[in-house]
Structure formats: structure tokens, C-alpha cells
Structure 1
Amino acid sequence: MAETYVSGVAGRYAKALFELARDAGVIDAVKADLDRFGALLAESDDLKRLVRSPVFSSDEQEKAIAAILDKVGIGGLAGNFFKTVAANRRLFTVESIIRGFEALAAAEKGEVVAEVTVAQPLSDAHAATLKETLDTLTGKNVQLAIEVDPSLLGGLKVKVGSKLVDASLKTKLNSIRTAMKEVR
């Protein structure tokens, strides 16, 4: 297996969590808990504010995270990990930690993660077509991590490893705007 690199503070946390999960044989369970927390974060502006705002003390973040984890049933290694991250004032990196863990887990299984950003949610048929295309292009089993960003206006951005394909309407309009400025 080729080495998968994750960097920065979030990368160190992701790698530590991954190694603990691998040693305990619970990679899939931890990934499921991380995915659930990521979905909660995507849905709740209040949770985003708690995670990202430096206004909250580590004690306040730790208590709030513990209550949220208890309510949604995230415990074990992932639950303890989130509490540790909150206690260490690193909760703002949790989204990057989740992405890093997913990349390490995918590499362990021989998969690759494609970060896809779209203007509107993809239908199941479109997601399947995109996955098939990326599987063919990369020669690997591609897992899609889809994020919705309405500011793209249309099209999509796909990042696989260090390669980025930006076919968003926003980027194309900016290119036209730049070209029009050069004409003047």
C-alpha cells in the first residue's frame, strides 16, 4: 500500500485516530460515527458556530459536544476522540480531521476519495454515473465525498488526490469576465 499523507494539525489528529481505530479493528465503526457527526455539522448552523467560533471556551465546547454525542449515540473511540479534540481547543479542525481519516481509511482499503463540489444535490443516477466515470479514469474504486455549494451556480468541481477539475459555471463566468477586461 502506498503511503497516504495527511498534513497539519488536522492531519496529525486524523492519523492518530486512524491508527487507534486500525489497532482496535474498528475503522468502519469510527468512520460511520465520523460521517454521522459530519452530517450533523452540515445540517446545523448552531453546531458549526460551536465548532468554529473561538468565543466558546474549551470547557463549554467539551460539555456541548458531550451532550450532542450522547443524544445522537456516538460513543466509543469516536466519541472520546471528539471530546479530546474539544478539550484541546482543536474543534475548528474537525471537518479536516474527518476528511483526513476518510482518506486514510480509503487508502487502507485500496480506494481513493474524490471530493466533489456541486451547485445542487446530485441525483442517485448522476452520482452513479460520476462514480463510474471516475472509477474508469483512475483505475481505482472511487468513493465520492459530495458537498453542495450554491455559489458555484452550476457545474461541478472534482478533486482526486492533488488533481482538481473545475467545471463550475462560477469559474467559467470569472474567466469570461477576466477576458472581457483584457479586451478593453
Structure 2
Amino acid sequence: MRVTLLAKRYAQALFELALEGNILENVSKDMILVEEVIDENKELRLLLNNPVIDAHKKTRVLDKIFAGKLEELSLKFILLIARKGREKYIPYISKAFNSIYKEHKNIVDVTFTTAYKSDKEVKDGVLKTLEKITNKNIELQELIDDELIGGYIVNLEDYQYDASVKTQLKRMRKEFSKNLFIKKY
């Protein structure tokens, strides 16, 4: 079974339980936390991916790390996955869960990259414009890349709108480098 399919099935089951229990927001935060903890902790990742270490030890480690920090449903779910020997898929399940959650809440991720920290007016304007265009709630992540010189780049799902000075200069350089005296057929 492919990892993505497996992750989606587990994530969908958790999503339905959280929705039924009216704790969807909390479980979503839990899955973000679980994903971050595993991504940031190399030793934990190695432990979860190690086939030599038995599932009982992995379950105890996960319980010690997350007990008291997660909703009861989230903790039981993660421990169940570990007991079933599928603990290495927990990060994928977390990502899949949050993807399902965002789809349910009509949220789309947008990356807004500028050369410098933009003020609140600019961010609010971008948010309003994108919400109007997409008819979705926007979750804006702002990045700073001083190589852009000026302007901005907006990444929305599979689309990229590049209005940076860096890109405009590249286009101008390309146009000026063309030999205008040679005919093109």
C-alpha cells in the first residue's frame, strides 16, 4: 500500500472522530505539534523508523513525549498507530490530516515573499485580494528574501505570481542580450 493512501485513510478516520467529538480544532493543533516534534527531533525520527526496536518501546516513548500535551483522542490515535507497527507513518498522517482539515475549513496556504518586512496594510491588502479571487480563507506565510531587491512573489497552490525587481531585471537583461540585427525566421 502506498504511503500517501495509507496516511489519507488514517487521517480521514481521525478527522471523522474529531469532527464527531467536536474537537476538530484541538486535534488539528495536536497534529501540527506532532509533525513539528518529529520533524525537529532527529533521534525520535530514527527511533520511529528503526525496525529493530519493538513497538512497545516506541509506544512508551511516544506516550512520555506527548502525554498531557495532546487531546486524549490524538494521543490514543498515535499510540494505536505505534502499537500496530505503523509509527514511521505518523508524520505523513499528520500532514494528511491537516490537508483534510484545511480543505474542510476552506483554507488555502499562500506564501508571500518580499525583499523586506512588509507593513500590516500591504499584508491585509494581499489577504483581501486573494480571498476575493479564491473565495477561500487564506493562511498567509510571509518570507523575506533580500535577493528580490523589491516587489514580491505570491505562491498560491500551483500558481506563482512574480512581481519582484529581481525577475524584472532578469527579463530586461535577456531582452537586451538579444541581437536585434539578426532576423528570426
For the superposition of Structure 1 and Structure 2, which TM-score range results when normalised by the shorter chain? 0.5 to 0.7
Secondary structure of 2:44's partner? helix
Shift of 1:134: 4.9
Given the superposition, is the C-alpha separation of residues 97 and 27 from structure 1 closer, same or farther in structure 2, using an over 3 Å criterion?
A: same
1:125-136 to structure 2, matched below 5 A, reads: 128=123, 132=127, 134-135=130-131
Gapped regions of structure 1 (runs ≥ 5): 1-6, 149-153, 168-184
Given the superposition, is the C-alpha separation of residues 99 and 130 from structure 1 closer, same or farther in structure 2, using an over 3 Å criterion?
A: farther
TM-score normalised according to structure 2 size? 0.63
In structure 1, the partner of 2:107 is 112
Instruction: Return the alpha-carbon distance in structure 2 between the equivalents of residues 46 and 67 of structure 1.
Output: 15
1:154-169 to structure 2, matched below 5 A, reads: 158=155, 160=157, 163=158
Instruction: Return the alpha-carbon distance in structure 2 between the equivalents of residues 95 and 115 of structure 1.
Output: 22
1:41 and 2:38 matched: yes
The one-letter code of the counterpart of 1:57 is: D
Secondary structure of 2:70's partner? coil
Instruction: Return the alpha-carbon distance in structure 2 between the equivalents of residues 28 and 16 of structure 1.
Output: 15
Secondary structure of 1:11's partner? helix
| Counterpart among 83, 86, 90 of residue 87 in structure 1 | 83
In structure 1, the partner of 2:172 is none
* Residue-by-residue CA offset, 1:90-121 (whole Å, 9 max, x unaligned): 12222221122112222222x234386x9xxx
Given the superposition, is the C-alpha separation of residues 135 and 51 from structure 1 closer, same or farther in structure 2, using an over 3 Å criterion?
A: farther
Instruction: Return the alpha-carbon distance in structure 2 between the equivalents of residues 13 and 65 of structure 1.
Output: 18
1:64 and 2:61 matched: yes
Give aligned-pair identity as a percent.
22
Given the superposition, is the C-alpha separation of residues 76 and 131 from structure 1 closer, same or farther in structure 2, using an over 3 Å criterion?
A: farther
Question: Which structure has the greater CA radius of gyration?
Answer: 2
Question: What root-mean-square deviation, in Å, do the aligned CA atoms of Structure 1 and Structure 2 show?
Answer: 3.8
* Number of residue-to-residue matches in the alignment: 151
Given the superposition, is the C-alpha separation of residues 53 and 24 from structure 1 closer, same or farther in structure 2, using an over 3 Å criterion?
A: same
The one-letter code of the counterpart of 2:66 is: L
Given the superposition, is the C-alpha separation of residues 123 and 19 from structure 1 closer, same or farther in structure 2, using an over 3 Å criterion?
A: farther
| Kept after mapping to 1: 8 A contact 2:109/2:139 | yes
TM-score normalised according to structure 1 size? 0.63
Shift of 1:158: 4.8
Given the superposition, is the C-alpha separation of residues 124 and 83 from structure 1 closer, same or farther in structure 2, using an over 3 Å criterion?
A: farther
Secondary structure of 1:142's partner? strand
Instruction: Return the alpha-carbon distance in structure 2 between the equivalents of residues 131 and 87 of structure 1.
Output: 46
Which shifted more, 134-143 or 27-36? 134-143
Gapped regions of structure 2 (runs ≥ 5): 163-185
Instruction: Return the alpha-carbon distance in structure 1 between the equivalents of residues 124 and 50 of structure 2.
Output: 38
| Counterpart among 9, 24, 27 of residue 6 in structure 2 | 9
